[in-house]
Amino acid sequence: MKEVLVLTTGGTIASTKTENGLAPGLAAEVLVSYFERRPGVNLSVENVMSKDSTNMQPEDWVEIAERIQAHHQAYDAFIVTHGTDTMGYSAAALSYLLYGFDKPVVLTGSQVPLGMAETDAVRNLHDSLTFASQTDLQGVYLVFNGLVMAGTRAVKTKSKSYDAFESINYPYIASVSEGNMVPFYQPEPETPVLTPSINLDTKVFVLKAFPGLTVDIFDYLAANMHGVIIESFGNGGLPFERRNLIPGVEKLTAAGIPVIITTQILEEGQDIYLYEVGKRVADAGGITAGDMNTEAIVAKLMWVLGQTRQLETVRTLMQTPIAHDLDFV
């Protein structure tokens, strides 16, 4: 008998109508009743929290991870039901917080609440159970609309459609339908590079570059943040004419604050040395994030800073593939 624990956290999948709009309110015992029962699979359920995922915070990621770790010996697989708006962040965060975890952890949710007409929730629950109970893979995954994605690669790209999530810069792991799983890709095992840690440093800031961005923002960042992520243009470029942002990157780096450079472009990653506007950023100390997505970078930087603030060690760890989050820098 395979033992599977469902951990509920709220989200659209558990929402009901209120005078202020949809809000989580469905009891965990009711939610788990929508799962399709399978021979050889025993389902248990435990409520962790009940919140719209817009309100999900790093402390909540830690609570979910601790709950899963506490039940490690008793269960063979875990399913976390979660709101879609920040599920990509939570999937990435759990991938790091549960680094080295030797059982599958599956996140799923829905675009339409359980109990409503044309809900996608029932299918996603069934598919998540299929994958959780049949896979031999370890680690964190997201199951949505019949597709399985690595937890560090899933990004929400649509606000209403059922196919809300895509696997960015990484193959889909499998497809799932009507109780059957079709494997697509077998991730290569990773050599552990860190002792598992559940600490996070939340003093991280994401700055989106745009034409006209003031250089004064770097004074605030230097005084208040432990790590900065800049969503640059194209392949990693930042302006150095008129509003020159390069001295801001140098200032942060000199203060021992890592500056992670990603791109606003969703797919294909970046080549920071391709153009002068990118090479200047790298020469100023910017740490290229290759083909990682912002959700994973945020979670990984908090996790890495929770273990060390030594700049070169942070650089090394951010550019080391962990939980399949990175293919190239």
Residue 210 burial (C-beta neighbours within 10 Å; 0-12, 13-18, 19+)? exposed
Which residues fall within 8 angstroms of residue 124, CB to CB, at 6 or more apart?
Answer: 13, 108, 109, 110, 143, 144, 145
Question: Distance between CA atoms of 281 and 14, rounded to whole angstroms?
Answer: 45
- What amino acid occupies position 271? D
12 is a catalytic site residue: yes
| Contact (Cβ atoms closer than 8 angstroms) between residue 249 and residue 272 | no
Nearest to 292 by CA among 316, 322, 313: 322
Q: Which helix (H) or strand (E) covers residue 165, if one does?
A: strand 165-167
Catalytic residue among 8, 9, 12, 81: 12
Distance CA 165, CA 147 (A): 9
Task: Name the phi and psi angles at 47, rounded to 5.
Answer: -85, 130
181: enclosing H helix or E strand: strand 180-183
Instruction: Spell out the long-range contacts of 69-74 with Cβ–Cβ below 8 A and sequence spacing 24 or more.
Output: 69/98, 69/101, 69/198, 71/5, 71/46, 72/101, 72/103, 74/3, 74/5
Question: Which residues have a catalytic role annotated?
Answer: 12
